[in-house]
């Protein structure tokens, strides 16, 4: 019996961190296939190698401060070393991800926290190692991981949110909804334990963002310590699969005190301790009889935060989406989503009290996409976004995008 994407998102983290490597362990959905049996032989010996190339073209449909198109390229290399298959010890795996990127993204002159193209979020032409961690399966229900983690990649298998920037929604508001506490890439420890249909998750991590720092681990916990605790519960509602998730994240990291902004745009004081409390509900509205993997539904995700030093007071991202909008296209995915960022009141009050030609406001946007998979190794995504700037003097913008992803 196939599991729905909702059920898969509940259990995938217990099968190993590198979701892309695991999903492609049979290599049937890759362009280069099995390399004449070499990849299968390597996998049997404990080494799995996978790669993806992603190209994104995005252009404004109306006037923006920079009325020009953006094109970006990204190459991801995933490796996983299974120590048991390598003849070492049972339950251990080493997971790595190397990213090489080039081109231009999110360069439309809009001042905003959201990123319409999250493929090149927070970096440009570079080679980096956002993932390098060790996972150990203590029991079928318990797993511990330690090392460097890509928070965006952790969310990749989710049924609506996630996608690892290469699949699903393009905007960061959906591919990795920000909390203001968990950085894009971090060093820490993650523990997962499953009890029945509930997956418990706990993390302790360095609050410093190490997304572009490769394997530099200097200054660990010099800025404080962050932790989170949450659970995801899989159940049925109205005889359709449903996921309920709650998470609380807290950090002792210091940041700018947004109420201390001076006329020369400097913060003269610091604030400490920030949090984010998040709730998520995902419910299938349509399931193909006998195959819940072909399903789509309603997804709602909201959070509350302290607002100082966290840049957010609250966030929301939700909509409709999933797989198989048309049952004759079971591998295609689609989504309609709306997001809203309630930015820090202290930050808005401080900026808006100054004699500036602009005012800071909350952000919101809408995105619609359809991902067409003509062959198992190729996905072409058509995308349309409506985004607002955080400044009231900048126009709202319509952005059209086309993304191509090739799995090697």
**Domain layout of the chain by residue ranges:** 5-407
Which spans in 24-85 are helix H?
38-44
- For residues 280 and 82, give the distance between their C-alpha atoms in angstroms, rounded to a whole number: 33
CA distances from 116 to 108, 172, 182, 187 (A): 10, 7, 20, 26
Q: How far apart are CA 224 and CA 33, in angstroms?
A: 46
Which is the CATH superfamily of the domain at 5-407?
Answer: Carbohydrate-selective porin OprB (2.40.160.180)
φ/ψ of residue 97, rounded to 5: -145, 125
Specify whether the CB–CB gap between 190 and 36 falls below 8 A: no
As a whole number of angstroms, the distance between CA 167 and CA 54 comes to 9
Query: What would the two tokens of residue 109 be?
Result: 């002159």
Under DSSP, the state recorded for 360 is B
Per-residue pLDDT of the chain (408 residues; tens, 9 = 90+): 344 445 444 444 444 444 444 445 578 889 999 998 999 999 999 999 999 999 999 999 987 778 889 999 999 999 999 999 999 999 999 999 999 999 988 888 888 888 999 888 765 668 899 999 999 999 999 999 999 999 999 988 877 999 988 999 999 999 999 999 999 999 999 999 999 999 999 999 999 998 887 788 889 999 999 999 999 999 999 889 999 999 999 999 999 999 999 998 899 999 999 999 999 999 999 988 877 778 899 999 999 999 999 999 999 999 999 987 776 788 899 999 999 999 999 999 999 999 888 899 999 999 999 999 999 999 999 999 999 988 887 778 899 999 999 999
Q: Nearest 5°: phi and psi at 174?
A: -110, -35
């Amino acid at each position: 019996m196939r599991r729905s994407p909702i059920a898969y998102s509940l259990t995938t983290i217990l099968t190993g961190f590198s979701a892309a490597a695991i999903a492609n362990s049979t290599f049937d959905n890759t362009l280069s296939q099995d390399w004449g049996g070499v990849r299968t032989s390597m996998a049997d010996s404990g080494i799995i190698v996978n790669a993806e190339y992603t190209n994104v073209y995005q252009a404004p449909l109306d006037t923006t401060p920079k009325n020009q198109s953006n094109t970006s390229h990204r190459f991801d290399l995933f490796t996983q070393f299974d120590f048991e298959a390598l003849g070492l010890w049972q339950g251990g795996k080493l997971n790595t991800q190397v990213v090489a990127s080039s081109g231009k993204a999110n360069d439309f002159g809009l001042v905003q926290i959201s990123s319409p193209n999250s493929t090149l979020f927070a970096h440009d032409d570079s080679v980096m190692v956002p993932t390098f961690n060790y996972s150990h399966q203590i029991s079928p229900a318990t797993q511990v991981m330690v090392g460097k983690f890509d928070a965006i990649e952790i969310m990749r298998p989710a049924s609506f949110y996630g996608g690892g920037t290469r699949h699903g929604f393009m905007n960061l508001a959906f591919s990795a909804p920000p909390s203001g506490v968990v950085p894009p890439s971090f060093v820490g420890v993650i523990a997962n334990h499953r009890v029945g249909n509930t997956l418990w998750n706990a993390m302790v991590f360095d609050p410093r963002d190490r997304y572009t720092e490769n394997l530099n681990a200097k200054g660990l916990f010099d800025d404080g310590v962050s932790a989170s605790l949450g659970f995801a519960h899989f159940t049925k509602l109205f005889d359709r699969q449903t996921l309920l998730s709650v998470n609380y994240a807290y950090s002792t990291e210091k940041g700018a005190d947004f109420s201390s902004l001076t006329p020369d745009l400097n913060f003269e004081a610091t604030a400490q301790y920030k949090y984010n409390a998040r709730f998520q509900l995902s419910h299938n509205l349509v399931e193909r009889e006998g195959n819940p993997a072909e399903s789509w539904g309603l997804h709602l995700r909201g959070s509350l935060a302290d607002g100082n030093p966290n840049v957010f007071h609250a966030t929301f991202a939700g909509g409709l989406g999933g797989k198989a909008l048309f049952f004759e296209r079971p591998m295609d995915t689609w989504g309609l989503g709306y997001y809203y960022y309630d930015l820090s009141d202290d930050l808005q009050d401080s900026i808006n009290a100054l004699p500036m030609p602009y005012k800071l406001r909350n952000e919101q946007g809408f995105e619609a996409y359809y991902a067409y998979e003509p062959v198992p190794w190729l996905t072409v995504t058509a995308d349309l976004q409506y985004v607002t700037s955080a400044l009231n003097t900048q126009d709202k913008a319509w952005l059209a995008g086309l993304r191509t992803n090739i799995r090697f």
